[in-house]
Every structure is written in C-alpha cells, then in structure tokens.
Amino acid sequence: MSIATFAAVDLGASSGRVMSARVGPGTLDLTEVRRFPNRPVRVAGTLHWDILGLYGNILDGLRAAPRDLVSVGIDSWAVDYGLLDETGALLGNPVHYRDSRTDGVMDRVRAELGDEILYQTSGLQFLPFNTVYQLLAADLDQARTLLLVPDLLAYWLTGEIGAERTNASTTGLLDVREGNWSRTLLDRLGLPRDLLPDLREPGDVIGTLRPDVATETGLSLPVTAVGSHDTASAVAAVPAAGDRFGYISCGTWSLVGVELPLPVLTAQSREANFTNERGIDGTVRYLRNVMGLWLLQECLRAWDSPDLGDLLAAAADVPPLRSVIDADDPAFLPPGDMPARIAEHCRLRGTPIPETRAEIVRCVLDSLALAHRAALRQAAELSGRPVEVVHLVGGGSRNELLCRLTADACGLPVVAGPVEATALGNVLVQARSHGSIGSLADMRSLIARTQELRRYEPSGDERAWSEAAARVGLS
Ligand code: ADP
Ligand code: LRH
C-alpha cells in the first residue's frame, strides 16, 4: 500500500471545509484547503440552506486542492434534501431542518400510524425534522427525485443519481433491518415510491467529475461515496481500540452513544428516544441527539460574536452547577434569542437565572455535560454495551472546559479529538476503497497513532452531578 492524496468535502451545520489528506501506512496528514461559513438564509418566511453558495465554495476548494488527488468524498449534516424535477433541475432551495414548516407534522403521523410501526421499521428516534416529516410538509407536485444534500452535490459534480445508505438511514424511510427503502412505510404515508433513488454504499465509486467541472477545477477524478452522514464519518474516525467505548460527536449537535452490530428496537429504547442510524460496514450508531453547541452558537450570535476563548475562560471561573437546564427542551430548537430563551426556561422552573454572559455560558456547558452523562448512561444500559472510555470528537473537543465537565459528569475518562474527525472518516473510507488502508479497526488505530488527542480524567466527585441531574429530571 502506498501513500495517496484524497479530498474531503465536509459540510457541518455551522461551517463547511474542503480538506486534503495524505494517507498510507503510518501516515495520515490532514490539511485544510478552504473553510467557509454555512449561514442559513430566511426567504419569505422560510429558512433555507444557501446550497449554491456551498457548491461554489466546494468548487473553489477543489480548485485550490493538491493536483495529485486520487478521489474526493462528500459528507454533510443529515436529513435535508433537494428535489429534482423531471429534467433533473433543482426545485427551489433546500429547506433548513430548523424551519417551522414541520410544526405538528410528527405528532400527527405518530397519532395516525402509531410509534411502534414507525420505530420497528426505521429504528429512528422521533425528531420533528426527520426527512419523512419534512416530505409530508412539502409540495411534491413537480418532484421526481429526492437527493439528500451530499447526494445532490455529488450529482452536480458527476451527473450521477443515488442515495448513500448512512445518510438514507436518517430519513425515517429506510428499513433498519434490511437496509432498503421501506415500501410499506412509503405506501402507508402516501409518499411516491419512485421519489427515492437507488441506494449506494460508502466506498462505492459514484462517478467521475463532469467535463465542465473538470475544466473549472482543473481536476479529473472520481467522486467516491463515503459515510455521507457527517456523524457516520465522525464515528468511523473515533480513535477507539476494542468496543467498550462511548462517543460524543460534538459540534452543532452532540451525538451521544455507542457502536453496535445490530439495532436495539425495544419498547424501552423507543421510549428513551434512541436512534439506530447506519454506520460504516453495516454498524449501528445507537445514539441520542443532544442539543449540543447550538445553544452556545446561538448565544454568541445574539451577542454579536464576542471572543469565544475569553468567554470560556470567564465561564471556567463561575461556580459550577448553579443554574442547570434541560438542554434538550424543544424550545431551544429553532433559531432566535437564545439567552432570553434560557432565562425563560429557568424562570418557569424556579431555577436561578444566569445573568452575566459568563454565567450563561457556564449554564450551557454544565447542562450539556449533564445531558452527555444521561445519554451515555442510557445508551450503555439499553444496549448492554459497557462503556469504559468516552471519545469526544469534532469542534467541541477544542472546548477544554466542556471536555473536563463531561469527564466529571460521566465519571469516565474522556479522550478529546480529533477535531476534524468527520473529514478524517471521510478520507479514510475513500482510502480504503482505493487500496491505501485496510479495515475500520486499522483506520481507528492509524488515527490514534497520528492525530493530536487529549485525555481528561474524571475528578471523582460524582455526587454533585447526580444531584444536578435529578434537578433537571435526568439520570
Ligand atoms: P458542525 O460540524 O456542526 O458545524 P463543528 O464540529 O465544526 O460543528 O464544531 C463547531 C463548534 O466547535 C463551535 O460551535 C464551537 O463551539 C466549537 N469550537 C470551535 N473552535 C473552538 C475553539 N477554539 N475553542 C472552543 N470551542 C471551539
Ligand atoms: C450533525 C447531524 C446529526 C443530525 C443533524 C440534523 O451534523 O448530521 O447527526 O441529527 O445533523
């Protein structure tokens, strides 16, 4: 196996990047080629993604990437999609999963079909923005093909249509046992069967860059399917050895759980709202969405973007666990004045209202650590998988205070990093497909040997965390 260069397009909900990586035996060098903000745009009352802006940035990134690239792969946040008409043209801008068009839809579907059939079929947690609920709120009259965001971008780059399986598993329409689109569910919901394209696996070659794209970027190379759900790529890049680990993919969301060979579809799992998303090599990401650093991002936006480092330093000096909130209150889901919503949440529950910015940030981080603890404990309990160490990856692994609080709250060591786990998972799946690395275990071991990681030991004072968890109704 020789060293080869791959590019990852990785679109998170808060920012996107084009990265390049040299991969080979004992080598994994990741370089940032281009980074750009991912800002939603509200148009006539609807919140959209700026998909053409993102695509333009991808082309710019490819233009600036090394010339010896072997392949490129694309991952993004889950659930959102574009619709193509009969000519293959995009029908309108993709709508953001935080848009209010789905208000009430999930409750209606659950009441009509019942939770049991929905969970037994898709294994998915009940989130109001799952693709299935978005589709029921959308106008499908002219729509012929649905493409999830990474599949849409791959279509523009190659002209090839398809649906990558890890991301397809976040739609609510993929059969969790079979790994195929559920015709039964589509029929029950009255959704057209032929809207959903053929499925493809991470590692499949999607196609080569279209001639016009090749001219524009100066590159002629294949686009390879990766774990196109960003969380699938991130978990593939967790530097774990063995299987007794939990993970927190920590960015805009915290995705908290364990990796399993088979889904857990019990009544307890459904009631605890755990999801069974598809990972690399048919693994199951058994996890729950925790509201994540979205809470902090929205505070920063409300305060006109002050320096994050200064704020975190000030928050570290605030007394711990004074104001704690249920981070997963659905009231925090839409965009808007987050400090005001946190204050209102506290006021309604008789919790001391955090006043200063440092107090608000401390409240957010303490509360996230509590939510991490509850989700990890439940994941281990419901799956029977022991957890001895927690791997925290993504942008949140740069937040030392959050890592330390999470170790203390969970009573477990936290290994923080890599920051760019998603991009690493993306390039390593390509590298495997093109012969530069072996198994999933080899990928993880290469990451553990080459990337910067930091270990946080728990303080041992779990009592304060148990008491605080009980105050917000968590375990
Ligand atoms: P996403 O993929 O969802 O867009 P990322 O994994 O890029 O998210 O993580 C973004 C988050 O990482 C930011 O919201 C911020 O809270 C955190 N972060 C980024 N840089 C730093 C830093 N230098 N110190 C602390 N936190 C950071
Ligand atoms: C994280 C993520 C998560 C989904 C959410 C919509 O970026 O993909 O796994 O639940 O976005």
Share of the chain above pLDDT 90, in %: 98
Per the residue annotation, which of 230, 328, 366, 408 is the catalytic one? 230
Asked about 230 being catalytic, the answer comes back as: yes
Q: Is 250 in the pocket of ligand 2 (CB under 6 A)?
A: no
CA atoms of 167 and 230, how far apart (whole Å) = 8
| pLDDT single digits (tens) 59-97 | 999 999 999 999 999 999 999 999 999 999 999 999 999
Question: What's the DSSP call for residue 90?
Answer: B
11 bridge partner residues: 16, 76
List, in sequence order, every residue forming a beta bridge with 5; answer none if it has no partner. 22, 69
- Tell me how far apart the alpha carbons of residues 309 and 28 are, in angstroms, rounded to a whole number: 29
Q: Name the residue of 291, 312, 392, 398 to mutate for ligand 1: max ligand atoms within 8 A of Cβ.
A: 398
Q: How far is the CA of 255 from the centre of ligand 1 (A)?
A: 14
Rounded CA Rg of the chain: 21
**Ligand 2 centroid to residue 77 C-alpha, Å:** 5
Distance separating alpha carbons of residues 173 and 183, to the nearest angstrom: 8
Read off the pLDDT of residues 398-435 as tens digits, 9 standing for 90 and up: 999 999 999 999 999 999 999 999 999 999 999 999 99
Which ligand has the nearest atom to the CA of 418? 1
CB 349 within 8 A of CB 434: no
Confidence of residue 289 (pLDDT cuts 50, 70, 90): very high
Ligand nearest 251 Cα, by number?
Answer: 1
Cα 73 vs. chain centroid, distance in angstroms? 16
Q: pTM (2 decimals)?
A: 0.98
What confidence tens digit (pLDDT) does each residue in 215-231 have?
A: 999 999 999 999 999 99
* Average pLDDT of the chain to the nearest whole number: 97
